[in-house]
Amino acid sequence: MSTQILEKTLMELSHAGRVGVTLPESDVPRSAERPPAALLRDELPLPELSQLDVVRHFTRLSQLNWSIDTHMYPLGSCTMKLNPKVNDAIAATPAFAEAHPMQPAEDVQGALAVMHGLQRMLAEITGMDACSLAPLAGAQGELAAVLVIKAYLESIGEHRTTIVVPDSAHGTNPATASMAGFDVVAVKPQPDGDMDLDALRAALEEHGPTVAALMITLPSTLGLFDRNIVRIAEMVHAHGALMYGDGANLNAMLGQVKPGDLGFDAMHINLHKTFSQPHGGGGPGAGPIVVSARLAPFLPSPHVEQVDGRYALADPPHGIGRLGAFHGNFGVLLRAYAYIRSLGADGLRAISEAAVLNANYVQARLRGAYDLAHDRTCMHEVLFSGRRQKAHGAKTLDIAKRMIDYGYHPPTIYFPLVVDEALMIEPTESETKETLDAFCDAMLEIAREAETQPELLREAPHAAPLRRLDEATAARKPILRW
Q: How far apart are CA 375 and CA 395, in angstroms?
A: 21
Q: Pairing state of beta strands 371-372 and 382-385?
A: antiparallel
Q: Decide whether 335 or 402 has the Cβ nearer to ligand PLP.
A: 335
- Which positions from 176 through 195 interact with its own copies, judged by CB under 8 A? none
> 327, 433, 400: which is closest to 102 by C-alpha?
327
Shortest separation between residue 59's beta carbon and its own copies, angstroms = 5
The reply on whether position 18 binds its own copies by CB under 8 A is: yes
Interacting partner of 406 out of other proteins, ligand PLP, its own copies, none (Cβ under 5 to 8 A depending on kind) = its own copies
Contacts of 93 (CB under 8 A, 6+ apart): none
- Which positions from 226 through 285 interact with other proteins, judged by CB under 8 A? 226-227, 229-230, 253, 255-258, 261-262, 270, 272, 276, 278-285
Task: List residues near ligand PLP by CB under 6 A.
Answer: 77, 137-139, 170, 172, 217, 221, 246, 248, 270, 285, 287
Distances (CA, A) of 164 to 117, 140, 456, 469: 33, 18, 43, 37
The reply on whether position 15 binds its own copies by CB under 8 A is: yes
Q: Decide whether 80 or 304 has the Cβ nearer to its own copies.
A: 80
Q: Decide whether 24 or 281 has the Cβ nearer to ligand PLP.
A: 281
Shortest separation between residue 257's beta carbon and other proteins, angstroms = 5
Interacting partner of 246 out of ligand PLP, other proteins, its own copies, none (Cβ under 5 to 8 A depending on kind) = ligand PLP
Q: How far apart are CA 396 and CA 387, in angstroms?
A: 8
Q: How far apart are CA 358 and CA 382, in angstroms?
A: 10
Do 128 and 264 meet the contact criterion of CB atoms below 8 Å apart? yes
Provide the residue count of the chain.
482
- Which positions from 186 through 215 interact with other proteins, judged by CB under 8 A? none
Binding its own copies (rule: CB under 8 A), the pick from 167, 405, 437, 451 is 405
Q: Decide whether 75 or 267 has the Cβ nearer to other proteins.
A: 75
Shortest separation between residue 430's beta carbon and its own copies, angstroms = 5
Burial, 362: exposed, middle or buried (Cβ in 10 Å; 0-12, 13-18, 19+)?
buried
Residue 417 DSSP symbol: T
Q: Decide whether 50 or 228 has the Cβ nearer to its own copies.
A: 50
The reply on whether position 95 binds its own copies by CB under 8 A is: no
The reply on whether position 463 binds its own copies by CB under 8 A is: yes
The DSSP element (H or E) to which 372 belongs, if any, is strand 371-372
Binding other proteins (rule: CB under 8 A), the pick from 188, 205, 208, 432 is 432
Which range of residues in 95-103, 120-128, 153-161, 430-438 is near its own copies by CB under 8 A? 430-438
The reply on whether position 353 binds its own copies by CB under 8 A is: no
Amino acid at 207: H
- Which positions from 74 through 133 interact with other proteins, judged by CB under 8 A? 75, 78, 80-86, 88-104, 107-111, 113-114, 121, 124-125, 127
Do 455 and 401 meet the contact criterion of CB atoms below 8 Å apart? no
Shortest separation between residue 287's beta carbon and ligand PLP, angstroms = 5
Shortest separation between residue 282's beta carbon and its own copies, angstroms = 20
Binding its own copies (rule: CB under 8 A), the pick from 96, 326, 361, 406 is 406
Shortest separation between residue 279's beta carbon and ligand PLP, angstroms = 9
CA angle 356, 244, 287 (to 5 degrees): 70
Cβ burial 324-343 (10 Å sphere, 16+ → b, else e):
eeebbbbbbbbbbbbbbeeb
Q: Compute, in degrees rounded to 10, the torsion defined by CA atoms 271, 277, 281, 287.
A: -20
Burial, 128: exposed, middle or buried (Cβ in 10 Å; 0-12, 13-18, 19+)?
buried
Interacting partner of 405 out of ligand PLP, its own copies, other proteins, none (Cβ under 5 to 8 A depending on kind) = its own copies
Q: Decide whether 270 or 352 has the Cβ nearer to ligand PLP.
A: 270
CA contacts within 13 A on the Cβ side of 168: 27
Which ranges of 297-428 does DSSP label H, i.e. alpha helix?
330-366, 387-392, 396-405
DSSP string, 281-295: TT------EEE-GGG
- Which positions from 23 through 42 interact with its own copies, judged by CB under 8 A? none
Residues in touch with its own copies (CB under 8 A): 1, 13, 15, 18, 22, 50-53, 55-56, 59-60, 63, 68-71, 82, 84-85, 342, 405-407, 430-434, 462-463
